[in-house]
Structure formats: structure tokens, C-alpha cells
Structure 1
Amino acid sequence: MSVIFIIFQISVVSLSCSFGEEINLYGDAGEAYAIEVNIGHPHQKFKLLVDTGSTTLALAAYAREDSSVYFHADNSSSLYNSGTTIEAAYTQGTWTGLLASDFIQFPSLSIPEVRSDFALITKSHEFFTKASVWQGLLGLAYNPVGAWGKSGAVESWLDALDRNLNKPMSFQLKLCGPISTSNTTHYGYFKVIDNQTPQSNYNKTFRTPVLRKRWYEVGVIGVRVLSSLTSEAKNKTADEIREPDKDMCTQLNTVKSIVDSGTTQIKLPDKLFREVVDELKNEFRKSQVLILDEFWNRREAACWLEPQVWTLPWLAIDLLSADADNQYFTLEIPPQNYMLVVGVHNSSDTSGTVSTYCYKLGLETGYTETVLGYTAMEGLQVTFNRSAGWIGFQTSDCGANARITGPYNTSTSLKTTCELIKPVAEVATSIQAAQWALCAISIIAASVLLYLLAPCIKNLFLKKMPRSQQISLSQAALVEEDSP
């Protein structure tokens, strides 16, 4: 194990030197990418999943059955614990905790330490994965989907950073995937930038708008299996008119389509998921390599005695362009991304050591939702401009050879055709509407109450009352006034 670890460290150092950047994201098989953080004074060191699908920085504050690493509140002299209970629910798992604030520092980022709200998780259910090496989440989405308590939404770390620096900050994710076909550890780079930061990646940027600033909701126009291994761009020009499949794009965006680094798989609405998987299954059968249906339909692993070099088709994900609402561009995802290495197992027998390489499908049903997990981002550099409301995609110098093509034109507005403009109220608008509704209900209830109590009120005014006595409409006071 020590030899393997040393080889891994040497590989990481050489990669860091090659890219001119410090690799600061790591992930185990089937888990998202984590970053190292220091919290409190003196510093306590933890690993947080980098999650664009949530908002609140949340950290374990109790020992779990499979982990003794957690935040010791009594050991931080700078901690403020409000005692307010907050909670959050995710696609998988829930937690309950206490709202606190303390100093947050990321050693690998060139930004100052800031005091920020965060959640001390005191109880959870199916939130932490078994034997996970991370202790919490770094939520990077917008405040409307943050954890809530009696005093409202919990301020995110990014908003605290914006406030401290007095300017809006964006961030970049460069997710590279595993180092080799025989290793399940994946790595990447997380960077916080402002709008004036010089561009270090000179590849063309393709931008898609954030349709609603809650999660990073985007317009997914289509998800397709490419018919050949060559790029779609070779058979299509930017001036060519290609109409979207209206049924497909409305299905993809019926509930929401989000970019979520905290999710592994690409999740598709159930009907589309089955269509894509059936097409991939049929292509795989041509290779004369046996994979049972359980791999495709039940998320079970398939294992071989040696690492696989996949010749399956690429996936195409069409995204609405931020430059014009009758344009889209295409992320072309290689099979190395969606055939996920989930384990390299060694077992000894009489002939020595035998290795088995196990894979799982990086696609699953989202039932009614679309989620572009990190499987759709590996091999790309993705910029999240929170204030301007767009996500930029560029080809990357690490990871799988993912491609981006386009932009391509359509004859009509994609926002209209795909029904991307929905009457979905922002959370703040919903709160305002709820306040008005509550006010209306209160007025109606008060009117009914006054109507029912009118005879009693009339009697009160008819009686001569001492000046010092206060009129009360409580039931006890009315009974007392009506008593002989």
C-alpha cells in the first residue's frame, strides 16, 4: 500500500508541474471531488465535497460509526454557536444541525480567511457514505436553496467571501478524472476568481445561461448517443439549421435541469434514460463482450481481469447558448467518462495476485429531473459566473478528451420551443406571495371573529367601564365581563 501511495503522490506532483497549477481536488471511486479546508482557531483540518448542487457549508460535529473525524466545537476559540436548529434534505440523505460561524480557510486557494456561517451537523440520515473520507459539503449554489432555520436562510461561504472582498466572486472547476485506467482516485482543480482575473485557458468559451439562480439551472436541449466515434462537428456547420426535438427538450426541462458537481452520474428523465441505455446496450452487443442486463438497469458493477479500453459511442449533450436563444452548443462526452471505474480489487490465489477491474454505468434515471453530474464535466474546465448568471465550458488540458462543438442555429427561440421560460417563482417572490396570502387569511379570519363577537363587543361599549380598565377580546375577559 505504501508503494502505491508513493507512486500516486509522484504522479500528482508531476501532473501539478505539467499544468502549472496545484491539484487540490481528490475523490474516491463513486464519490465527488473533495477539497481540504481549515476551520476555527486553532485550525481543524477537514475534507469537504465541492458541491454546486447545494448552498450551505455543512460539517460533521459528531463521531460517526465509521469515522472519528469531526469538528470539535469546544476546541475553537473563535466559534460562535447560535444554538439555532437548521436542517437540509438532499436527493440522498438529510441532516439536522446547529447554525454556527467561524473562520474558514482553504490552504490551496489564494483568497483570505473569512468568517462564514456554517452548519454543525449533529444528526444525519444516509447523508455520509460508508467509510467516506470527507466530513461535509462546500455548497456553491445560490442562497434560495440553502439550509433554513427560524431566522431564515444560512449565508453561504461564497456570499461571505463576496462581502469580505466587496466584489462578486466566481469559481472554476477543472475535473480530470482518474490518473490511469488502473486507479480509481480522481483529481482536479478548484479556483476562485473575479471577473478581472486574466484568462489562463485560451480555448474558446461556450456559455450557457443560468435560467434561475437557485441551483445552477440550465437549458438542456437534447441528450443523444452519437452515431459514430467522430465528432459531430465534422458533419455539421454552425450555419446549418437544426431544429430541436421538442418532446425531448421539454421532457428534459419539465422540472429542472441542473449542473451538479456533487452528483456522480448524468441523470435523465426515466423515458429518455431507457432510450439512451437501450441504444448503448445495442452498440455494446456488437463488440461481442458480455455484460449482463443488471449492469445497464440495476447499477451493478461489471468486472474484468484487466482494464478496459472502451469503443462505445460518445454522448452528446446540447446546451442553450447564452449568446442567443436560438443557438445551442454540444458537449461531446467520451465513453471513458460514463463507464466509471469503481474498484480495482486484488485477491491472492495459488498462482499469485489477481486483479479485477470493476465498472459502473455513469448514467441513471432522474425520474423527472435532469442532472449533469461530474461525469458530464470531466475533461472540461467549467466556470461558474454567479453574479452574471452563466456557466462557461472550455476544453481542458487534463482528463478525458471531451470536446465542445458549435454553436448551432435553430429557426425559433429555444426558450419558447423547449418551454424553458416557466412561471416558476423565485424563492424570494414565493416568500413575498406567502406573506400576502398570510395577510389576506388574517384579515378574513379577523373579520369572521369580529362578526361572531359583535354582540359581546356591543355589550362592552354599552357598559360604563372604569378608565383604567383595558378592553380585551380574549375568551377569559369576555366571560368575566358577561358574568353577573
Structure 2
Amino acid sequence: MKLFYLFKIAWWFCVVGGEEYNLFGDAGQAYSLEIYMGHPKQKLRVIVDTGSTTLAIASYARRDNDEYFHTDNSTTLDDTRKVVQAKYSQGNWTGHYVTDFIEVPSLKSVPEVRSDFAIITKSHKFFVNGSGWQGLLGLAYLPVGAWGEHVIVGSWLDSLECYLEKSVSFELKLCGVQSTTNATHYGKFSMIVDNNLSNHTPSFRTPILHKRWYEVGVLAINIRYPNVTSNNSMVLDAGITSDTSNEICQLLNKQKSIVDSGTTNIRLPDEVYRELVHKLRQESQALNMLIFDEFWFHGEAACWPEPQEWLALPLIGIDLLSDVADNQYFTLEIPPQNYMRVVTARNTTGEGGSVSQFCYKLGLEAGGIDTVLGYTAMEGLKVLFNRSGGWIGFDTSDCGPNARISGPHTVSYSFIDACKLTRSDSEVAVSIQAAQWALCAISIIAAIVLIYLLAPAVKMCILRRRQLNADSVSQDALVDQELS
């Protein structure tokens, strides 16, 4: 089985016109990258994750995966023994803060560097069952790195920039599946020194509003139809329009709106999610598609004996703030092939005859108060992350679904003001340190409770000591009297 998996990876590296693709993933899993760690080099796979900062790697075998980083086998590992931890929207882990040499073999121009990272010693609901990866390569900013007492783990990107003495950007070209009969997706991860960015000017750019996660201004979510020109394609649905933007725009950005390649789905605030999915369900019913409510609202898979192309369903429009002006935006037009995600593509012939099953899940989910543009919103696009410049660029791609970008569009007011996209540094700092403050508060409460419980015993000890001292003084006085 493992040999078959490695064969699939090698094959995907060479597909599509000879271009070398270095990202790979099975259905329901994010895009992973092969890296070398330590000396002698150990080959492992990590998810390319713009929703976290720390390179974190398993250091123990799991029930369904016996591949991990063998710390005792690396002669160059420096283990600080400092305990660090990280928590994600799904799962968490604890481990040690270490440093060692990291190399990405598919990036020929990127040197091997010694980098901070974390070895995971314990985790909860972090590793996906049957996953072909052993950790995460975090690509976000330092403030959301894994942390421990008096320490935050640095990132591989920061180590690389320090070694090069130059700022670097990276590009994700996510292609999705190759065909309707395949559930495996592929893509390309590339690095660009910022000095050479003039050769990689994207057509559309959105500003990074806060440099922790890749926080952007998501202005609206709407329905668009594929057979209508982009100038007239917007349908004004209740609660999810660009023209009635203020309330919904503030809702989309209330907590944070981030671009996260480590998340699968497009995650929306509950109210926006319900409205959008209700509209998509109505469209499918109008097209006489028999899809149960469990698929639309409960994350269950829907299966057919033949592959589905979903060409009649509408596109989803995601309006993003432009970095050209604060009253300008552009729209990512996400085709149904993105949000109707294939999770099983099986067509086998055996003694019992031919068996076909093609199953799909909805690439949308309720996010509480968060907005997360997972890789469902990025497939069919080239997405350039300029960390130092503070912007994310979008272009259409030559691989994957037929995602489109329209714009720029202009309004008569400022989105920064209308959507309340600007927050003070203190608000940002408080949100970053929320977990630390919570732990501090719990510690203080626990200490108070402990003192309260121990107070009677302490009081009794003090009284007994005073009694013993009094008895001692009395005996000394009697001795003095007898001597006199």
C-alpha cells in the first residue's frame, strides 16, 4: 500500500505537460509537500498551511501511520526541551521546541537551512485517519506560532529569510483533481525572492489587514450564473449581496477572515452559510437534482453510480477588498466543481460485475463567527503570498477547475469604514493572547481555591506552633523559678 502511495506521488510530479508538481493530497486532505529533515536526511510529508506558522512534525508512530521524525537518528538536532503547544480549529498537540536542518528537495533554488520547529509528542484529533502526511509546514506570521512558557517557536520562512538576508514570497497553484473519475488532487508550491517579484505581477491583489494569519477583507458572498456575463452576473440575494453590504460585510469580518490552505472548506458565519446553502439547494431542486438535506446542511456525502460534472449549478462569488483603493473590490468566481467536492471515485470490476461509486461532499460549512477561505476557494487559481509587502495576489490558472476573477469594481464609499476592517493594535494583541490570558486566569483561580482549602490546615499549624512556643516559654519560666 505504501509503495502504491509513493508511486502515485511520483506520477503526479510529472503530469500536465511535463510541469513538475510537488503538492499532492487524497480526497478530504489538504495539499502536502515532501521535505527532508535532519542529518542523515529523513524524508517526510507536511501539509502546506497558510493558517498556522510553525513547522510541526510527529515524533512518534500513530495507529494508522508509522512514519515520523526519528529524533535519535539526527546528529544535528538541538532539543531545547521547552514544552510548546498549538491549537487549531480541529485538534491540538503538545511537543518540544527544537532546531535542525530543513530542505525542500522540489525547490532547487531554496537552500537547506537550520530552522526552529516543533516535534509533536502528543496530539488530540490532529492527525487525520489514513493521512499521508506527518505534520504541518506553517507559512503564516510569528504571532500565531506555537508557544510555551516564555517562548514562541519561529518559522521555517523566517529562518530562510534570515539565511538569505532577503524577503521571500511564495505561490500556491492548486489544481484540484485531474478528472471527474479521480479523487486525488495535485498542485505546485514555489518560492520567489522579493527582488524578482516584478516578473510575477498578479492581476488582482488584496491587502493583508493584520500580519498574524493572512487576514483579508471579505466583503460579500453571492451567487453567480455561468452563462451570464460578469457585468450582469450578480444576483442580489437577501443577506449576501455587495450592494447591501454593511451589515453582512461586518458579519463576515467580525472575528477574522483568513486565507487558509490547511483548511478544506469555505467556512462562513452561520447566518451567511445558511442563506447561501439554502439558495444552492433551491437551485438544485429547480434542476431536478435529487440531493437530500443531509448533504446540504449536515456534511454527509451524496453518491451516484456515475461521475457528476455539476455544470448547471451556479458559481459562488467571493468579493475581496482591492489594495488599489479602499472603495474598490474584485470577485473570485468559484465554480461548482470546487464546492461539490469529490471524496470517492471508484470504478472496479470483479467477479460480481462492475461496481461504481462517485461520492461528493459540500465544500461549505458553518464557521460560527469566522470566515475561512480554505483550499476549496483556491483551486483553479494561482495565489501569491507577499509577506513583506502585505498583500495576496490572485490570477487564473492553467490547471484545475475553470475558476474566474472579475473586476475591478468600484463603489462610492470606503469598505474600510463600512465593514469596520480596521482594528486597533490593542484589539489584535488581545485576540492573539486570549489563550495565554485564559490559562493565566485559570492558574490564579486554582491558586485561590488551593489557598482556601489549605487555610484551615495552615491556621492549625500556626496555632500549634504558638502553643508549643508558649509551653516552651512556660517551662523555661518554671526552670528559672526552681533555680532561684
Shorter-chain TM band: 0.7 to 0.9
Cα displacement string for residues 71-101 of structure 1 (whole angstroms, at most 9, x for unaligned residues) = 1111000000011000000000000000100
Distance in 2, Cα, partners of 1:394 & 1:124: 37
Query: Corresponding residue for 1:274?
Result: 274
Asked whether the equivalents of residues 415 and 421 of structure 1 are also in contact (C-alpha less than 8 Å), the reply is: yes
Shift of 1:226: 1.3
Give, in angstroms, the shift of residue 309 of structure 1.
1.3
**CA deviation string 1:34-54 (max 9, x = no partner):** 000000000000000000000
| TM-score normalized with structure 1 length | 0.83
SS in 2 for 1:130: coil
Q: In structure 1, what is the equivalent of residue 50 of structure 2?
A: 52
Give the direction of change, closer, same or farther, for the CA distance of 1:318–1:163 in structure 2 (3 Å limit). Answer: same
Aligned runs of 1:221-232 on 2, under 5 Å?
221-227=219-225, 229-232=227-230
Q: Distance in 2 between matches of 1:133 and 1:259?
A: 23
Counterpart in the other structure of 2:196:
197
**Residue of structure 2 equivalent to 1:220:** 218
CA distance in 2, matches of 1:170, 1:330: 23
1:274 alignment partner AA: R
Cα shift readout 1:50-77 (whole Å, capped 9, x = no counterpart): 0000000000001111111011111000
- Counterpart of 1:397? 398
> Counterparts of 1:198 and 1:211 in 2: how far apart (Å)?
21
Give the 3-state SS of the residue equivalent to 2:16 in structure 1.
helix
Corresponding residue for 2:322?
321
Q: CA shift at 1:15, angstroms?
A: 1.0
2:183 corresponds in structure 1 to 184
- Equivalents in 2 of 1:61, 1:7: separation in Å? 25
The answer to whether the Cα contact below 8 Å between 2:267 and 2:372 also exists between their aligned partners in 1 is yes
1:445-479 CA distance string (max 9 Å, x none): xxxxxxxxxxxxxxxxxxxxxxxxxxxxxxx9xxx
- Other-structure match for 1:63: 61
SS in 2 for 1:102: strand
Give the C-alpha shift of residue 151 in structure 1: 3.1
CA distance in 1, matches of 2:161, 2:406: 34
Aligned to 1:331: 332
Aligned residue number for residue 207 of structure 1: 205
Structure 1: gaps spanning 5 or more residues: 237-241, 439-475
- For 1:34 and 1:169, how far apart are their aligned partners in 2? 20
Give the letter aligned to residue 333 of structure 1. Answer: I
Separation in 2, partners of 1:323, 1:188: 29
Partner residue of 2:376? Answer: 375
Residue 131 of structure 2 corresponds to residue 132 of structure 1? yes
Q: Which amino acid aligns with 1:382?
A: V
- Answer yes or no: is 1:253 the counterpart of 2:253: yes
Deviations along 1:213-252, whole A, 9 cap, x unmatched?
Answer: 010000000001114543423569xxxxx74511110110
Give the whole-Å Cα distance in 2 for the aligned partners of 1:173 and 1:408: 25
User: Which has the larger displacement, 337-346 or 80-89?
Assistant: 337-346
Equivalent-residue separation in structure 2 for 1:172 and 1:122 (angstroms)? 31
**Corresponding position: 1:86 with 2:87:** no
SS in 2 for 1:255: coil
Distance 1:123 1:429, change over 3 A: closer
After superposition, the C-alpha distances for 1:165-185 in whole angstroms (9 at most, x for unaligned) are 001111000000001111111
SS of the equivalent of 1:197 reads helix
Do the aligned partners of residues 288 and 350 (structure 1) sit closer, same or farther apart at CA in structure 2, a change above 3 Å counting? farther
Which residue is equivalent to 1:419? 420
Amino acid at match of 2:275: E
* 1:5 Cα deviation after fit: 8.8
Check whether the contact 1:254–1:369 (CA below 8 A) recurs between aligned residues. Answer: yes
Deviations 1:324-373 (A, max 9, x none): 00100000010000000001235667651211000000000011110000
1:116 partnered with 2:115? yes
- Residue 147 of structure 1 is matched in structure 2 by 146
Gaps in structure 2 of 5+ consecutive residues: 235-241, 441-464, 474-484
- Pair 1:282–1:402, CA change in 2 (3 A): same
Q: C-alpha distance in 2, partners of 1:179/1:25?
A: 13
Give the TM-score, by structure 2 length.
0.83
Q: 1:54 to 1:231 in 2, by over 3 A?
A: farther
In 1, are the aligned partners of 2:207 and 2:390 still within 8 Å (CA)? Answer: yes
Match in the other structure for 2:32: 34
Q: Deviations over 1:283-337 (max 9, x none)?
A: 0012212111000011000001111010200000000000100100000010000
* 2:74 partner letter: S
Check 1:218–1:124 CA distance in 2 against 1; reply closer, same or farther (3 A cut). Answer: same
| Secondary structure of the corresponding residue to residue 15 of structure 1 | coil
Kept after mapping to 1: 8 A contact 2:170/2:384: yes
For 1:115 and 1:6, locate their aligned partners in 2 and report how far apart those are by CA, in whole Å: 30
2:181·2:346 contact (CA, 8 Å) conserved in 1? no
Contact 2:183/2:343 (8 A) holds in 1: yes
- CA distance in 2 between counterparts of 1:4 and 1:112 reads 27
**Number of aligned residue pairs:** 429
Once residues 227 and 126 of structure 1 are traced to their aligned partners in structure 2, the CA distance between those partners, rounded to angstroms, is 38
Distance 1:335 1:44, change over 3 A: same
Q: CA RMSD in A?
A: 2.6
**Counterpart residue type for residue 427 of structure 1:** A
Aligned to 1:72: 70
Q: Is the 8 A contact 1:29 1:341 kept in 2?
A: yes
What is the one-letter code of the residue matched to 1:409? T
Structure 1 window deviating more from structure 2 (303-312 vs 339-348): it is 339-348
8 Å CA contact 1:26–1:186 kept in 2: the answer is yes
Larger deviation: 82-91 or 3-12?
3-12
Closer/same/farther in 2, CA of residues 424 and 295 from structure 1, 3 Å limit: farther
CA distance in 1, matches of 2:9, 2:165: 40
Q: Does the 8 Å CA contact 2:57/2:118 hold for their aligned counterparts?
A: yes
Q: Distance in 2 between matches of 1:265 and 1:151?
A: 34
Q: CA, structure 1 residues 232+144, in 2 after alignment: closer, same or farther (shift >3 Å)?
A: same
Amino acid in the other structure paired with 2:134? Q
Q: Residue 165 and residue 183 in structure 1: after superposition, are their counterparts in 2 closer, same or farther (change >3 A)?
A: same
Cα distance in structure 2, aligned partners of 1:344 and 1:5 = 19
**How far apart are 1:138 and its partner, in Å?**
0.1
Aligned ranges 1:13-32 → 2 under 5 Å = 13-15=14-16, 17=18, 21-32=19-30
| Structure 1 residues 99 and 36: alpha-carbon distance in aligned structure 2, compared to 1, 3 A threshold | same
